[in-house]
Amino acid sequence: MLLKILLRNAFRHKLRTVLTICGIAVAIMAFGLLRTVVSAWYAGVEASSANRLITRNATSLVFPLPLAYKDKIRSIEGVTLVSYGNWFGGVYITERNFFANFAIEPRVYLEQYPEYVLSGQEKEAFLRDRRGCIAGANLARRFNWKVGDNITLKGTIFPGDWELVLRGIYRGREDNIDENQFFFHWDYLNESLRKTQPGRADQVGFYVITIAHAQEAAMISDRIDALFRNSFAETHTETEKAFQLGFVSLSEAILTAIRLISLVVIAIIMAVAANTMGMSVRERLGEYAVLKTLGFGNLYVSLIILGESLVIALLGGLMGMAGTFPASQMVGRAVGDYFPVFMVTRQTLCLAFSAALLVGVVASLFPMWRASTVPVAEGLRRVG
Amino acid sequence: MKGGDMSLVEIRNVSKSYTKGDQSISVLENIDLSIERKEFIALMGPSGSGKSTLLNLIAGLDSVDSGVISVDGLDISSLSQADLARWRALHVGFIFQFYNLIPVLTAFENVELPLLLTGLRKKQRREHALTALQLVSLEDRMDHYPRQLSGGQQQRVAIARAVVTDPTLLVADEPTGDLDRVSAEEVLQLMERLSVHLGKTVIMVTHDPRAARKAHRMQFLDKGVLADAPEDTLTECL
């Protein structure tokens, strides 16, 4: 009976209820979308492995490190694999076609990143061909690339036209793996530099280090950096997660603003829902007084109000959560260059659901208090 | 102390006042009244005389400032709000001027509502509610919502709701106040039957002399005190 009353009460004033549900749906969708933007910012961090360290020049990432460091790093106890690479920064045809592209030492690098899934055949073809390259599935789709296509990158940091052949298209093992990256052989870059800019040859932008035990990350990082202390190129080693967080922290102010806006959206809709519930309860104080007259306690009356509020808020919330998916797809397509992984995460859905739940509970607090405290005799006077 | 020969309702030296702003307005002053079992009593008086307040006090909807009200030997003026709610659920049936049915529930569901507090199983609740609806001759309208019933039918559903738990005491606040003559007569006959045939004690607040004529006894209230009824009122009631 309680369920019957609260469900029927929720739709007594159809227009008001539908408008409130729509408002909550839009707010929850906006909240979900904003949280998805935040998640997209952290996608690289989330995809990081606890077993991988990144070593870069202690002064700045733009300064290189000697290739000779590789064997010294490899010799440190606890280190199992070492690869290296450079941010290449090339553009495809025009500068508008921006995407992340790296020159890497491919054999070990692909071993270190098993989350980039390539077929055995494509992997072999890539490793065999010095001018070979691989691209993520999203990137290949974006430019309609097929395996075997010739791709020319215009170098910005390393000037010139770089002729490459697409040997494979990788897919992410999980949904949160970036499929918008592009990799080619570091050797190809280095050989060319030896001829054109010998001063820049045999230098790498970063080392990727795999360690046997994640809990030794801090100790091994210290050992690596100690090894090159007081050298002309001192190193800074950190976990891959910390390395990625370093990029995210550059945008911390924007992220804080987005988080705040998402909370403001919820606060506004909370006020709207509270107003709806307030109006409904004010109109029904007489009915609640009748229930209390018949012997129903404040708890029963409060449950009816809370239930009605939750029905409205959760219906709106579920609609908003459902709407977040197409909205995120649309936004993801528009901002794909900046956010390679733009997907609604389970955490975002949980937050959106919790926000809807919170809206329902908070919106019913004052009306519950009001209905509970109005004396029965006074409530009965409101009928008629 | 449960009364065998005792009056069902004993009101002793009861006073009640309300505060409006910083003013205290006395509504009832030193009321003494006894109501016997199976008695049908009409409380009459001009607007603001305190009859609805007295009815609310007897029914446990409001609390006295001073004095004692005992019903069937139980001093209800000493009960907490929660205990009063439980007591009302079991011992008092309410009939209001504006019927006060829950609009989102059908006639049957409205009648079944008080039974939710009795611990009866669903099947038993159904049987009781149907019996109550049969008593008011509305079993064929059990699936109708209040908006689909006439005023008289709504008041009969309200009466069925009031008696479904088989309470000792029925309180009615202007039960015919919103009804046409024919419907009012039907409702009054029904209330008379409840008193005479089912042995319910009925306390009815009314302005209507025709309604008061159905009662066994009439009590007149004026300015918060029990008083003799004016001549014209007495004449109309006879």
Q: What is the pLDDT of residues A23-39, one digit of tens each?
A: 999 999 999 999 999 98
How far does the CA of residue A2 sit from the closest CA of chain B (Å)?
Answer: 10
- CATH for B58: 3.40.50.300
Give me the pLDDT at residue A212, please. Answer: 94
Alpha-carbon gap, residue B187 to A96, rounded angstroms: 84
How far does the CA of residue A370 sit from the closest CA of chain B (Å)?
Answer: 17
Mean pLDDT value across chain B: 89
Alpha-carbon gap, residue A332 to A294, rounded angstroms: 56
Alpha-carbon gap, residue B138 to A2, rounded angstroms: 24
| Residue B73 in domain | no
pLDDT-derived band at A250 (thresholds 50, 70, 90) equals confident
The answer to whether B94 contacts A294, with C-beta atoms less than 8 Å apart, is yes
Give me the pLDDT at residue B2, please. Answer: 45
Q: Which of A290, A292, A295 sits opposite B102 (nearest CB)?
A: A290
Give me the pLDDT at residue A366, please. Answer: 94
| Residue B141 in domain | yes
The answer to whether B96 contacts A286, with C-beta atoms less than 8 Å apart, is no
Contact B156, B190 (CB under 8 A): yes
Asked if the model's pLDDT at residue B237 lies above 70, the reply is no
Q: Which of A1, A292, A377 sits opposite B113 (nearest CB)?
A: A1
Q: Which of A8, A292, A377 sits opposite B104 (nearest CB)?
A: A8
Give me the pLDDT at residue B18, please. Answer: 87
Alpha-carbon gap, residue A146 to A135, rounded angstroms: 10
Give me the pLDDT at residue A103, please. Answer: 96
Alpha-carbon gap, residue A341 to A374, rounded angstroms: 53
How far does the CA of residue A13 sit from the closest CA of chain B (Å)?
Answer: 12
Task: Name the residue of chain A whose CA is nearest to B165's CA.
Answer: A294
Q: Name the residue with tokens 């205990």.
A: B83
Tokens coding A30: 């906006």
| Residue B107 in domain | yes
pLDDT in tens, A170-219: 999 988 888 999 999 999 999 999 999 998 999 999 999 999 999 999 99
Side-chain-facing half-sphere of B25: CA atoms under 13 Å: 10
Task: Mark which residues 287-346 of A lie under 8 Å from B by CB.
Answer: 287, 290-297
Q: How far apart are the first and last CA of chain A?
A: 24
Computed from CA positions of residues B177, B179, B181, B186, in that sequence, does the dihedral angle turn out positive or negative?
Answer: negative
Give me the pLDDT at residue A384, please. Answer: 47
Asked if the model's pLDDT at residue A10 lies above 60, the reply is yes
Task: Name the residue of chain A whose CA is nearest to B173's CA.
Answer: A380
Interface probe for A, chosen from B65, B113, B115, B118 (most Cβ of A below 10 Å), is B113
CB proximity list for B139: less than 8 A, separation 6 or greater:
B130, B133
Contact B213, B185 (CB under 8 A): no
Asked if the model's pLDDT at residue B236 lies above 70, the reply is no
Q: Which residues of A touch B125 (CB under 8 A)?
A: none
Give me the pLDDT at residue B238, please. Answer: 58
Judged by average pLDDT, the poorest of A21-30, A275-284, B207-216 is: B207-216
Helix intervals (H) in chain B: 51-58, 81-91, 107-112, 122-135, 151-163, 181-196, 209-213, 231-237
Give me the pLDDT at residue B3, please. Answer: 44
Chain B contact for A380 (CB, 8 A cutoff): yes
Strand-pair partners of B40: B202
Instruction: State mean pLDDT over B8-13.
Output: 93
Instruction: State mean pLDDT over B10-33.
Output: 90
**In this structure, are strands B92-95 and B169-173 parallel, antiparallel, or unpaired?**
parallel
SS3 for chain A is CHHHHHHHHHCCCHHHHHHHHHHHHHHHHHHHHHHHHHHHHCHHHHCCCCCEEEEEECCCCCCCEECCHHHHHHCCCCEEEEEEEEECCCEECCCCCCCEEEEECHHHHHHHCCCEECCHHHHHHHHHCCCEEEEEHHHHHHCCCCCCCEEEEEECCCCEEEEEEEEEEEEECCCCCCCCEEEEEHHHHHHHHHHHCHHHCCEECEEEEEECCHHHHHHHHHHHHHHCCCCCCCEEEEEHHHHHHHHHHCCHHHHHHHHHHHHHHHHHHHHHHHHHHHHHHHHCHHHHHHHHHHCCCHHHHHHHHHHHHHHHHHHHHHHHHHHHHHHHHHHHHHCCCCCCCCCCCHHHHHHHHHHHHHHHHHHHHHHHHHHHHCCHHHHHCCCC
Alpha-carbon gap, residue A14 to A8, rounded angstroms: 10
The answer to whether A295 contacts B98, with C-beta atoms less than 8 Å apart, is no
DSSP state of B7: -
Radius of gyration over every alpha carbon of chain B, rounded to an integer in angstroms? 18
| Residue B8 in domain | no
Contact A52, A240 (CB under 8 A): yes
Chain B contact for A382 (CB, 8 A cutoff): no
The answer to whether B61 contacts A296, with C-beta atoms less than 8 Å apart, is no
More confident residue, A23 or A376: A23
Q: Which of A4, A12, A290 sits opposite B100 (nearest CB)?
A: A290
Q: How far is CA A169 from the centre of its chain?
A: 23
Instruction: State mean pLDDT over A49-75.
Output: 94
More confident residue, A61 or B115: B115
Task: Name the residue of chain B whose CA is nearest to A376's CA.
Answer: B61
Alpha-carbon gap, residue A25 to B4, rounded angstroms: 63
The answer to whether B88 contacts A293, with C-beta atoms less than 8 Å apart, is yes
Alpha-carbon gap, residue B207 to B173, rounded angstroms: 10
Size of interface A-B (CB pairs under 8 A): 68
ipTM of the complex: 0.89
Judged by average pLDDT, the poorest of A293-302, B131-140, B223-232 is: B223-232
Q: Which residues of A touch B104 (CB under 8 A)?
A: 4-5, 8-9, 12
Alpha-carbon gap, residue B174 to B210, rounded angstroms: 12
Instruction: State mean pLDDT over A89-97.
Output: 89
Contact B21, B12 (CB under 8 A): no
**In this structure, are strands A181-185 and A100-104 parallel, antiparallel, or unpaired?**
parallel
Task: Name the residue of chain B whose CA is nearest to A286's CA.
Answer: B100
Alpha-carbon gap, residue A221 to A209, rounded angstroms: 10
Instruction: State mean pLDDT over A16-24.
Output: 95
CB proximity list for B87: less than 8 A, separation 6 or greater:
B60, B74, B76, B79
Q: Which residues of A touch B28 (CB under 8 A)?
A: none
CB proximity list for B40: less than 8 A, separation 6 or greater:
B191, B192, B195, B196, B201, B202, B204, B214, B215, B216, B217
| Residue B94 in domain | yes
How far does the CA of residue A49 sit from the closest CA of chain B (Å)?
Answer: 57
Give me the pLDDT at residue A168, please. Answer: 97
The answer to whether A295 contacts B96, with C-beta atoms less than 8 Å apart, is no
Give me the pLDDT at residue B233, please. Answer: 65
Instruction: State mean pLDDT over A67-83.
Output: 95
Interface probe for B, chosen from A8, A288, A293 (most Cβ of B below 10 Å), is A293
Contact A284, A308 (CB under 8 A): no
Strand-pair partners of A152: A163
Instruction: State mean pLDDT over B127-155.
Output: 94
Total number of domains in chain B = 1
Alpha-carbon gap, residue B16 to A163, rounded angstroms: 98
Instruction: Indicate the residue type of A121.
Output: Q
The answer to whether B114 contacts A287, with C-beta atoms less than 8 Å apart, is no
Q: Which of A5, A377, A383 sits opposite B61 (nearest CB)?
A: A377
Contact B16, B62 (CB under 8 A): yes
pLDDT-derived band at A334 (thresholds 50, 70, 90) equals confident
The answer to whether B61 contacts A376, with C-beta atoms less than 8 Å apart, is yes
Q: Domain range holding B229? A: 36-63+79-237
| Residue B224 in domain | yes
pLDDT-derived band at A383 (thresholds 50, 70, 90) equals low
Task: Name the residue of chain B whose CA is nearest to A8's CA.
Answer: B104
Q: Is B129 helix (H, G, I), strand (E, B) or coil?
A: helix
How far does the CA of residue A308 sit from the closest CA of chain B (Å)?
Answer: 13
